[in-house]
Structure 1
Amino acid sequence: MSKYQQIKAHILEKIEGGHWAEGDAVPSENQLAQHFSVSRMTARRALQELAEQGVLSRTQGAATCVASLKNQSSMLQIRNIADEIRARDHQYRARVIELGSREASTGIARQLKIDVGDRIFYSLICHWQDDIPLQLEQRFINPALAPDYLAQDFTATTPHEYLCTVAPLTEAEHKVEAVLADDLAQQHLHIGADSACLRLHRTTWSREGIVSHALLTHPGDKYQLGGHLTFQP
């Protein structure tokens, strides 16, 4: 990591480890610069980026403090497919079709905010409910934020569960579209070329940046989206 990234990681570790609580002052730019043997500008960059992410609160002429939890990006409780299936009292299983690395295409580089041709991790997994393939998951991962991704057994845990552990989510973006089954969907979801599918495009962030971009494809006649929202007065 670069020096300013080391400073950010140090501050996040102190906050997430409970050493610095909401409202506590963090070391000043001068203190951080001295401790990490960097310029004051480098220390300022680390503090400013954490402030922009809602982790710290900075006020002119006052100490930089750990931000109120109400001001920080909230953890998104996105239920993964394994939980959904088990909640319906069905058996869940997964089949890992591909797990490896590749070069980032133009589209994926744009999604992950990296350069075209950079190495990324990729997984293709089919999630089953009983004897029915219910979701085909294509996931593109930034290796810098999940370096041990390729060593995981994704028949025992889902990528979502693993990534929430190693790079806790602070933000997510969804796009839902209706599509016809492409070749991958036809092959692994056992459906025809004229079958309608529901596809979710999901990008997730941690405090360090974009963690992954996933394409989650479901047979249109076997899956629906829904939820219950409660609005406070």
Structure 2
Amino acid sequence: MLEPKFAQIKQHIISKIKSAQWEEHSKIPSENEFAEQFSVSRMTARRALTELCEAGVLTRNQGLGTFVASFKSQSSLLEIRNIADEVKERGGQYSCLPITLESMSAIAPIAIALGVEIDSQVYHSVLVHLENEIPLQVEERFVNPEFAPDYLQQDFELTTPHEYLCKAAPLTEAKHTVEAISPNAEMCNWLALYNEEPCLQVIRRTWSSNGIVSFTRLVSPGSKYRLGGHLTFKRNK
């Protein structure tokens, strides 16, 4: 069965980027040029470019054209770091307690977040990250099996999901939502909280060059974890 034309255009663009024929920040052909090359309507070509822009592979500049995006696994404010490295840098002893590792049918919110069909199979994990045997963070992650087929076979007591996914599907983009929450009883149990201490919750989606890789919820006690960032501002001359 032949792929739809818009999917063929997407694959063509991705192959050009992967082979380094089109490098970061380089301008790519226009919608009209793709439409002519693949003998399709401009609307079909636009769909291909739009989906790759939404996935973080391309970026558009009004009036200038479409360009290959910068592939950096961080947002403008929050750097994505491996929690095991953070703990070790502080001189602590990192460990992990796996709670859940399973394949499941994607309900609507998960399917939408991962860009897959409802009821399709996705991977689901719940891990507790510990520092000096004290719970530091609960990580609940949903993964698209297409980009990380061996996810459930990993020993997460030896490697973190972040480490595995960076190798299996190198990250190109991440989007975050950060908020304070009141943990439920299950979360209090995982984090060994004996009162209703406010927690910090980070919701994160990550992309590789081919699409959305994972949708993750990170929950940490407010007294044990914080987020920081560094911004550099240029002076106007």
Identity, % of aligned positions: 43
Q: How does 1:1-233 map onto structure 2 within 5 Å?
A: 2=3, 4-5=6-7, 8-21=10-23, 23=26, 29=34, 33=38, 40=40, 46=48, 49-50=51-52, 53=56, 55=58, 67=67, 72=70, 74-76=72-74, 77-233=79-235
Gaps of 5+ in 1: 34-38
TM-score, structure 1 as length reference: 0.76
Deviations 1:110-157 (CA, angstroms, capped at 9, x unpaired): 322334322211001111111211011000112222222112222222
Letter in 2 for 1:55: L
**SS of 1:89 mapped into structure 2:** coil
Aligned length: 223
What is the CA–CA distance in structure 1 between the aligned matches of 2:204 and 2:195, rounded to whole Å? 24
Q: Looking at both structures, which has the greater relative contact order when contacts are Cα pairs under 8 Å and sequence separation is at least 6? A: 2
Change (3 A) 1:18 1:114: closer
Inter-partner Cα distance in structure 2 for 1:50 and 1:190: 42
Q: How far 1:166 moved relative to its partner? A: 2.3
- What's the offset of the Cα at 1:8? 3.1
Q: Shift in Å at residue 170 of structure 1?
A: 2.5
* Per-residue deviation, residues 194-226 of structure 1 (Å, max 9, x unmatched): 232211111222232222111111112111222
**Secondary structure, in 3 states, of the residue corresponding to 2:111?**
helix
Contact kept in structure 1, 2:203 and 2:218, CA below 8 Å: yes
| CA-CA distance at 1:24 after TM superposition | 8.2
Letter paired with 1:132: I
Give the C-alpha shift of residue 100 in structure 1.
1.0
> Unaligned stretches of 5+ in structure 2?
none
Q: What one-letter code is carried by the residue in structure 2 that aligns with 1:12?
A: I
CA-based RMSD:
3.4
* Contact 2:71–2:171 (Cα < 8 Å) also in 1: no
- Does the aligned pair in 1 maintain the 2:27–2:68 contact within 8 Å? no
Measured against aligned partners, the alpha-carbon deviations of 1:27-60 in whole angstroms (never above 9, x if no partner) come to x758975xxxxx54577864665467553889x9
Contact 2:28 2:68 in 1 (8 A): no
One-letter amino acid of the structure 2 residue matched with residue 198 of structure 1: L
Whichever residue aligns with residue 85 of structure 1, its letter is V
- Distance, in Å, in 1 between the alignment partners of 2:166 and 2:195 is 34
Q: TM (normalized to structure 2)?
A: 0.75
**2 CA distance for matches of 1:47 and 1:106?**
25
* Closer/same/farther in 2, CA of residues 106 and 18 from structure 1, 3 Å limit: closer
